[in-house]
């Protein structure tokens, strides 16, 4: 390893930016096709659900604290809690549970 | 212009949970970067110009192994390809009236989390809302990296553990409210989580990287849902 760490970093940044930028700049018009529109409408729900579960269960020091955070987040979100409230409440519950179990 | 500042402020407010979660995740990245032999400046620079957790962790591994640049290109491409799907989705969320150059800047902030919050806003996406999200969460990502690479012990373990669920809590806050009273979205979320669990646990399937798991499941589930339950045309905003 030497100076070429900067080349690695540049390569990583370039590839990652192109992946993000090309679809945004190439697709300028509103897509009319109903199936594609429906697909893009459903994309966030699938990606976010897949990213959340089961990854959340191994994110904290204990599966039980993670489960506690997961459940409280779902309950609060279902009852219309804001992003901030849901997110910090999950953190808080994890913190409290871990105080007791470890 | 006044309303643009309002959007920017709202973005900052909504970006606070992202920033907190980022500090926790990038803190561990900072530690890993130091172990991989990067200098403080290199680690911070990598976080500032990439803003992608899985891609950066994989990048560290390749740098430590002195891998070829082509290998780095392919790895980053595969791990981060999911951002393309998100950008496609976001492209439909930007108004035709929005000047074109904004797309280049919005693109720099397409992460799982910023995307998630951006698509959940009502109606079209105001670029200044994106900039608000970016202007608090990216510094959080860089700052956490700096803390991690400087010292492994600044944040107590308990706090770090608690902050680790911030991002997931946010994802849940985004997907659950629209699912309320909507059987299709509820079913999609449940199925996504179950299949994600299967991909994580079952032999063979668990060999697939998490980046690819996201792509495969997104195309399969959102694709099937699009064919079986096409949205009604009066559904605005996308």
Q: What are the residues whose beta carbons fall under 8 Å from the beta carbon of B203, sequence distance 6 or more?
A: none
Instruction: Give the count of domains, chain B.
Output: 2
pLDDT (tens, 9 = 90+) of chain B, 238 residues, equals 568 999 999 999 999 989 998 888 888 889 889 888 899 999 999 999 999 978 898 888 889 888 889 888 988 888 788 899 899 999 999 988 889 999 999 999 999 899 999 988 888 999 999 999 999 999 999 999 999 898 765 667 888 788 878 888 888 988 999 899 999 999 999 999 999 999 999 999 988 877 778 888 989 999 999 999 998 865 444 3
Given B157, B174, B191, which residue is the final one in a domain? B174
Report the distance separating Cα A15 and Cα B75, nearest Å.
10
Given B174, B195, B223, which residue is the final one in a domain? B174
Q: Cβ contact (<8 Å) for B89 and A44?
A: yes
Q: Which residue of B has its CA nearest to A6?
A: B42
What pTM was estimated for this model as a whole?
Answer: 0.80
Say if residue B143 is in the same domain as residue B213: no
- Indicate whether B238 belongs to any domain: no
Say if residue B212 is in the same domain as residue B109: no
- Indicate whether B237 belongs to any domain: no
Alpha carbon distances (Å) from B101 to A24, A25, B89: 11, 9, 18
Q: Which domain holds residue B10?
A: 2-174
Per CB-CB distance under 8 Å, the chain B contacts of A98 are: 158, 161-162
Q: Which residue of A6, A15, A74 is in closest CB contact with B176?
A: A74
Compute and round to an integer the Cα radius of gyration of chain B: 19
Say if residue B207 is in the same domain as residue B143: no
Say if residue B144 is in the same domain as residue B186: no
Tell me the two tokens of residue B199.
Answer: 């991909």
- Indicate whether B236 belongs to any domain: no
């Amino acid at each position: 390893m030497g100076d070429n760490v900067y080349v690695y970093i540049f390569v990583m940044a370039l590839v990652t930016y192109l992946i993000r930028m090309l679809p945004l700049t190439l697709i300028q018009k509103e897509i009319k096709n109903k199936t594609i529109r429906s697909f893009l409408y459903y994309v966030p729900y699938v990606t976010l659900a897949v990213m959340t579960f089961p990854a959340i269960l191994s994110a904290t020091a204990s599966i039980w604290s993670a489960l506690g955070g997961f459940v409280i987040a779902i309950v609060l979100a279902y009852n219309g809690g804001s992003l901030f409230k849901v997110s910090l409440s999950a953190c808080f519950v994890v913190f409290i549970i871990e105080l007791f179990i470890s | 212009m006044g309303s643009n500042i309002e959007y920017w402020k709202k973005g900052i407010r909504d970006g606070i949970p992202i920033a907190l979660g980022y500090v926790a995740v990038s803190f561990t990245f900072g530690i890993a970067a130091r172990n991989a032999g990067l200098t403080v400046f290199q680690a911070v620079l990598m976080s500032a110009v990439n803003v992608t957790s899985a891609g950066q962790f994989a990048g560290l591994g390749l740098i430590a192994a002195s891998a070829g640049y082509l290998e780095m290109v392919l790895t980053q491409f595969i791990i981060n390809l999911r951002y393309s799907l998100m950008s496609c989705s976001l492209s439909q969320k930007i108004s035709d009236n929005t000047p074109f150059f904004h797309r280049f800047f919005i693109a720099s902030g397409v992460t799982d989390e910023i995307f998630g919050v951006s698509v959940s806003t009502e109606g079209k996406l105001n670029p200044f809302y994106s900039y608000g999200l970016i202007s608090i969460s990216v510094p959080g990502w860089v700052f956490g990296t700096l803390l991690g690479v400087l010292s492994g012990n600044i944040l107590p373990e308990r706090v770090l553990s608690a902050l680790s669920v911030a991002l997931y809590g946010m994802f849940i806050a985004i997907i659950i409210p629209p699912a309320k009273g909507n059987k299709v979205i509820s079913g999609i979320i449940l199925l996504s989580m179950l299949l994600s669990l299967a991909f994580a646990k079952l032999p063979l399937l668990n060999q697939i990287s998490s980046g690819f798991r996201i792509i495969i499941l997104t195309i399969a589930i959102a694709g099937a849902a699009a064919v079986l339950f096409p949205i009604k045309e009066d559904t605005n905003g996308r």
